[in-house]
Amino acid sequence: MSAKSKLYLLAGLSFLAGNAMAQHICISTPNTSLVLNAPNGGELKYLYYGSKLSETDLQHINDASNCNHTAYPVYGMNCPGEAALSVKHADGNMSTQMEVVSVSTNQEKQSTLTTIHLKDKVYPFYVDVHYKAYQDVDMIETWTEISHTEKKPVYMSQFSSAYLPIRRGNVWLSHLSGSWANEGQLTQEPLQPGMTVIKNKDGVRNSHTSHAEVMFSLDGKPQENTGRVIGAALCYTGNYKLKIDTDDSDYHQFYAGINEENSSYMLSKKEVFRTPAVALTYSDKGLSGASRNFHKWGRTYKLAHGNVVRDILLNSWEGVYFDINQKGMDQMMSDIASMGGELFVMDDGWFGDKYPRKNDSSSLGDWVTDKNKLPEGIEGLIRDAKKHGIKFGIWIEPEMANTISELYEKHPEWILKAPQRDPVLGRGGTQVVLDLANPEVQDFVFKVVDDLMTQYPDIAYIKWDANMAIMNHGSNYLAADKQSHMYIEYHKGFESVCQRIRAKYPDLVIQACASGGGRANYGYLPYFDEFWVSDNTDALQRIYMQWGTSYFFPAIAMASHISAAPNHQTFRTVPLKYRIDVAMSGRLGMEIQPKNMTDEEKELCRKAIADYKKIRPVVQLGDIYRLVSPYDHLGVASLMYTSPEKDKAAFYWWKTEHFVNQHLPRVTMAGLHPDKTYRITELNRIDNQPLPFEGKVYSGAFLMENGLEIPYTHKVDYHKLNDYASRVLYLEEVK
């Protein structure tokens, strides 16, 4: 160990007086501490996770009767309990017993990595437990690396990334679930005796039906801006399982990691199996406080280009669907440019030679331009984009193929399918998933992007879609005794491709779309700039979906588009003002055919885009404060973003129900500086007269204690009245 490493090791360890073998490891962020006990030759124990401890508290932490659970439980020496790791050695022994061998630390640029090296007491079997603590955000990432030097393979049947005991009491769980077009639905429930399992087995996408992120509210029913909260996010692109075992002890036992179902792993000699990281955060400022930690960490360390504001775009999908043509694309580019947009994205339907892409039943895998639709090719589209002063982007789905495609005709062995079985087909009745465990397939998928960017280096944005789950268990590439590795190897291959793309094209903006919001996970986001929250663009339903999604992901990552009315998914008719106000709370874009809009509607969008550019840094880079939840069914939803300096803020208010003589709560603000004064400006105003407080100045203290009275309806001409109301207020410090 280097002298520098020894220095950090000593700085990270505290020793109990009179017991030099009981090493206390204190892993710290600016405001939190995680404390472990790591005695040489003994078990690694978890002692504490919460607010940052003083030196005095740390010295006497044992006497506080804190938790003394094994920090990484293994199976075989305490069979009734759940385990993070279960293995079978070549001699049939299914028990494991790990002891601390050593502890090392390494100072990285903005973090400290602490590694506890464990070894089985009998076998040459090793587990390294890693904790990465950030110095500028309250986040700790933890994962394991498992290896051995036994003569024969070791079979792993369970391999969680992390374990965390949480003291019982009135603990509530907040988590997200849903389905296609209904993603990010928030559920909040008290933890009860028994097992709570949150899992995904899609194989390709992992956040449609449930999310690999949770929050634990330790002080009863969750509150947005008060109360102690622990947040956890598994950063993985594949199948996962989160378990909360509320047994007969005083603790809820939380486990998170790769879903082991049909994925037992044969670990070869000297092979290192690295589990995905679990990101942990703690806040005493409620759910929004935990969210702010996730957002800052996500923007700074996980999300591609996380601190660069996003362009305002028009996507062609809901405007024309598969009806792509040169003239139509040029018209849409002209329209978005005239409204102040900065990017046009041509969606599905542009490719295919032998099998032109006219609908969703053919052509995936044949990534050549359909010259009948686009006689001047992508070159012509890029030329037109430059003519209009905007950037150009394009849609692809490179992990997939159709059985009606030249690719499938040439390489039927490239798809995931068991021998002697007919393939189970997906979207359009012909879609199949390519086998990313196969290096040849990895090269092909990389080449899809590489060919586009080599031929057309002016492409600024790629929308990367994935519209099918793994329906067929079977890999033509993997050996017979490694078929259970399929799910894991698929995502190893996927990450390898993404790493190659990012290494060669670091500035390219890429959206993770997966039948909508199927890839909202921090395992994906190092390779993507944003994700498509949902294929459902209905503004009212988006309030609920984006609310839940904001628990873990910042606005800069949440693509939110203004779409047509009636909405194409719900057929609900929502006024344009309301649609704009919802879309402006995320990464603003449009998903509409502008030529079908009136001049008045285009002008409202033009003004909204100009206003959004004013607040874009606050929304995309600021701190979120959720104020009134739509899930509380109070008839209104409200949130706001503030700049880190607290000199600017954007406040959102949406009415979610409409009744005569209804009573809505007056919303108090949050996140402002009490001693600063702020001028109020309404954005996207449609009323015939301004709000009474328009242009007025109020202290942060007044706004946070009293709020402003928001009218329940808009004062517009009679023929424009409707049952919706929404407001966006811009607050700017008066110096």
pLDDT at 12 over 60: no
How does strand 459-464 pair with strand 431-433? unpaired
Separation of alpha carbons 416 and 401, rounded Å: 11
51, β-bridge pairs: 32
Buried b / exposed e along 604-632 (16+ C-beta atoms within 10 A) = bbebbbebbeebbebbbbbbbbbbbbbee
What percent of the chain has pLDDT above 90? 95
pLDDT at 576 over 90: yes
Give yes or no for a contact between 184 and 296, defined as CB atoms under 8 angstroms apart. Answer: no
pLDDT at 14 over 50: no
Q: Tell me, what's the pLDDT at 7?
A: 33
pLDDT at 409 over 90: yes
HEC profile for 538-572?
Answer: CHHHHHHHHHHHCCCCCHHHEEEEEECCCCCCCCC
- Average pLDDT, integer, range 640-669: 98
- Among 61-75, 420-434, 523-537, 693-707, the minimum mean pLDDT is found in 61-75
Confidence of residue 385 (pLDDT cuts 50, 70, 90): very high
Q: Tell me, what's the pLDDT at 3?
A: 35
- Residue indicated by tokens 């990017």: 343
Separation of alpha carbons 414 and 424, rounded Å: 15
Write down the mean pLDDT value for the chain. Answer: 96
- Please write the tens of the pLDDT for every residue from 447-496: 999 999 999 999 999 999 999 999 999 999 999 999 999 999 999 999 99
Give yes or no for a contact between 473 and 423, defined as CB atoms under 8 angstroms apart. Answer: no
- Average pLDDT, integer, range 270-280: 98
Q: What domains lie within the chain, and their CATH numbers?
A: 3-302 (2.70.98.60), 313-621 (3.20.20.70), 625-733 (2.60.40.1180)
Q: Tell me, what's the pLDDT at 22?
A: 52
- Residue indicated by tokens 């005493």: 284
pLDDT at 11 over 60: no
Cis check: omega of the bond before 566, within 30 degrees of 0: yes
Q: Tell me, what's the pLDDT at 62?
A: 84
Any idea what DSSP says for residue 133?
E
Q: Tell me, what's the pLDDT at 68?
A: 81
* Amino acid identity for residue 305 in this structure: H
- Average pLDDT, integer, range 693-713: 98
- Average pLDDT, integer, range 591-599: 98
Separation of alpha carbons 279 and 522, rounded Å: 9
What percent of the chain has pLDDT above 70? 97
Confidence of residue 63 (pLDDT cuts 50, 70, 90): confident
CA angle (487, 489, 495) in 5-degree steps: 110
Q: Tell me, what's the pLDDT at 67?
A: 84
pLDDT at 541 over 90: yes
pLDDT at 17 over 70: no
- Please write the tens of the pLDDT for every residue from 417-445: 999 999 999 999 999 999 999 999 999 99
pLDDT at 20 over 80: no
CA angle (217, 245, 222) in 5-degree steps: 15
Sheet of strand 32-37, all strands in order from the earlier edge strand to the far edge:
13-15, 23-28, 32-37, 45-51, 69-70
Confidence of residue 9 (pLDDT cuts 50, 70, 90): very low
Q: Tell me, what's the pLDDT at 44?
A: 97
- Please write the tens of the pLDDT for every residue from 191-232: 999 999 999 999 999 999 999 999 999 999 999 999 999 999
Quick one: tokens of 588? 């603003």
Nearest alpha carbon to residue 150 among 40, 41, 266 = 266
